[in-house]
Structure 1
């Protein structure tokens, strides 16, 4: 995935969150989290993670997932895993 940046990752996450959370006009920011985002529950979180791994061709381990608190954390993790390939 050429020219992968935090901004392009965030833009790539938006359609995933829109679909999984059924929120077509979602305001997704680096500060978005399960507490301030409608319909983001534990089941939706698992689906988001699975789709993110497929979309960005990365694999997360349990330790990675335990650190995720915000969308910004997810963006940073995707970027880190992509650069490590």
Structure 2
């Protein structure tokens, strides 16, 4: 399973929506229910599943899912 597939599965789980198909250019505005609380739940789930941690600075630098995906890949190499 690729990193993107694993991330997509996390999105489906956190947002309780099996139809989500993440794309690099997607932002919170593109996902129903992505608010501040679900954002925290998403970050916690990503960090747990990928066994890594993001700094506040890193999290604030992500502008879309593509940036998030690159951040994950950079940390898990």
TM-score by length of 2: 0.90
1:34 and 2:28 correspond: yes
Secondary structure in structure 1 of the residue aligned to 2:28:
coil
The residue number in structure 1 matching 2:61 is 67
The residue number in structure 1 matching 2:37 is 43
1:55 and 2:49 correspond: yes
After the TM superposition, which segments of 4 or more aligned residues of structure 1 sit over 4 Å from their partners?
Answer: none
TM-score by length of 1: 0.82
Gaps of 5+ in 1: 1-6
Q: Distance in 1 between matches of 2:21 and 2:7?
A: 11
The residue number in structure 1 matching 2:17 is 23
> What is the number of equivalent residue pairs in this alignment?
77
Secondary structure in structure 1 of the residue aligned to 2:30:
coil
Q: CA RMSD in A?
A: 1.4
User: Could you say which structure has the larger radius of gyration?
Assistant: 1
